[in-house]
Amino acid sequence: MDYVDFRSDTVTRPTQAMMAAIAAAEVGDAARGDDPTVNELERRAAELVGKQAAVFVPSGTMGNLVAVLSHVSPGEEIILESAAHMYNSEGGAVSGLAGAVVRPVTAPSGVLDPDDIAAVIKGEGKDNVARTRLICVENTHNAAGGTVTPLATMGRLHGLAAGAGVVIHLDGARLFNAAVHLDSSAADICRHADTVMFCVSKGLGAPVGSLLAGDDAFILRARRKVRMVGGGMRQAGIVAAAGLVALGDPYAQARSDHCTAGVLAAGLAAIDASLVVPQNVQTNIVNCRLDAFPELVPHFAVRLKERGVLVLQSGSVARFVTHRHIDEGAVERGLAAVADTLQRT
Ligand SMILES: Cc1ncc(COP(=O)(O)O)c(C=O)c1O
């Protein structure tokens, strides 16, 4: 069957321009700093986020892990939102590999409340507590439905962290989606973070890779950790070339994906108002709530799949993500599948 795939923006396949860039890529041994295409991608990434330097890594998970390894010693604490990708979906790496003590703080909207954070930061002092070293902010927040942390909130978090000698790491897997929603730039957001990871392999459409950026001293430490976890790559210019195409205009696809998500959300709400509040959809993720259809919850994703539509379901929330391969026709197919599934319950 020919499926419409709403599961994630990670399913995007490289564009023709990316394939051409891959074929023409100049390469070298990236782990020795010899790959000109990787070097150019790292330079461009640092420029876009307004940091001194960046390092190219195979995945967002590795970028986040390397950030934690570079900022935190075993037994020190990191603060994370309790539905954060780094906490729930990266194999426990921050504890299992970096030895960090995790302090989850709940924010159902995905936007950390600076007052909640101020209440749990632990500074120097007693030697029986895990000292807080790092706050991780996820912007946009995946599980909360692609929600965006406003610049003012980022600023408050950064201010209170700096006052306590704590560092902010931004999990910006979908950083450019956040920037588009804020009508701002990636650099404006990253001004309020010490380090940032963003992915070229999601809505930006490149096949592989993420960039971790920060100041020169941080990136020097990070490069050692990348080698430690096996992320040192050789002729990685092959994939970096596609990343460079993605970073030509990293905002354009996000703008289009957000419009598509808006149409999808409005269509779902027209089928049944309980499914989604369109005004709450900020970027390219639409969380469709099935609370009004408990009998459907165990089967919803399966029923949609039978109708050629793939979504990711977790409990009573079905996630629809818009991306390069989701056009008007795909949205129509998705909506028709949902309407049909609801009608037959
Ligand atoms: C918010 C967020 N952070 C990090 C990652 C990890 O990226 P990767 O799949 O490249 O490891 C993801 C992946 O979906 C994500 O959504």
CB distance 204 to ligand 1 below 6 Å: no
User: What's the structural domain count of the chain?
Assistant: 2
* Full DSSP string of 256-270: HHHHHHHHHHHHHHH
Rounded Cα distance, 41 and 240, in Å: 6
Please, are residues 182 and 174 in contact by the beta-carbon 8 Å criterion? no
CATH number at residue 36: 3.40.640.10
The residues, ordered by sequence, that sit 6+ positions from 259 with a Cβ below 8 Å of its Cβ are: none
Output the pLDDT for position 127: 82
pLDDT at 345 over 90: no
Q: Are 264 and 237 members of one domain?
A: no
Choosing from 222, 246, 270, the residue where a domain stops is 246
Same domain, 35 and 104: yes
For residue 109, what are its two tokens? 């909207």
Find the mean pLDDT for residues 30-45.
98
- For residue 196 and ligand 1, the question of a CB distance below 6 A is answered with no
On whether both 197 and 269 belong to a single domain, the answer is: no
Residues 101 and 158 in one domain: yes
Token pair listed for 273: 């108002």
The residue behind tokens 């007693």 is 126
Question: Band of the pLDDT at 306, cuts 50, 70, 90?
Answer: very high
Q: Does residue 18 have a pLDDT over 90? A: yes
11, 88, 199, 284, best to mutate for ligand 1 pocket (most atoms within 8 Å of CB): 199
Residue 75 shares a structural domain with residue 219: yes
Instruction: Decide if 215 is inside a domain.
Output: yes
Residue 40: the pLDDT is: 98
Cβ of residue 39 lying under 6 Å from some atom of ligand 1: no
Q: What is the pLDDT, as a whole number, of residue 125?
A: 74
Q: What is the distance, to the nearest Å, from the Cα of residue 187 to the centroid of all Cα atoms in its chain?
A: 16
Q: Which of 219, 246, 273 is the last residue of a domain?
A: 246
- C-beta separation of 166 from 134 below 8 A: yes
pLDDT in tens, 140-165: 999 999 999 999 999 999 999 999 99
pLDDT reported for residue 1: 80
Does residue 201 have its Cβ closer than 6 Å to ligand 1?
Answer: yes
Cα of 228 from ligand 1 centre, angstroms: 20
Domain that holds residue 289: 251-343
Among residues 40, 42, 41, 39, the alpha carbon closest in space to that of 213 is found at: 42
* Whether 151 contacts 183, CB under 8 Å: no
Q: What is the CATH number of the domain that holds 279?
A: 3.90.1150.10
Q: What is the mean pLDDT of residues 162-188?
A: 98
- Of all protein residues, the one whose alpha carbon is nearest to atom 5 of ligand 1 is 60
Q: Which of 11, 57, 61 to mutate to test the pocket of ligand 1 (most atoms within 8 A of CB)?
A: 61
Let me know if residue 118 belongs to a domain.
yes
316 and 292 in a common domain: yes
The answer, yes or no, to whether any atom of ligand 1 lies below 6 A from the CB of 210, is yes
**What's the alpha-carbon Rg for the chain, to the nearest Å?**
20
Judge if the beta carbon of residue 138 lies within 6 A of ligand 1. Answer: yes
- Maximum Cα interatomic distance, the chain, rounded to a whole number of Å: 62
Q: Quick one: CA torsion of 55, 57, 63, 66, rounded to 10 degrees?
A: -70
For residue range 76-120, what is the model confidence (pLDDT) as tens digits? Answer: 999 999 999 999 999 999 999 999 999 999 999 999 999 999 999
Helix axes 328-343 and 252-271, enclosed angle (nearest 10): 20
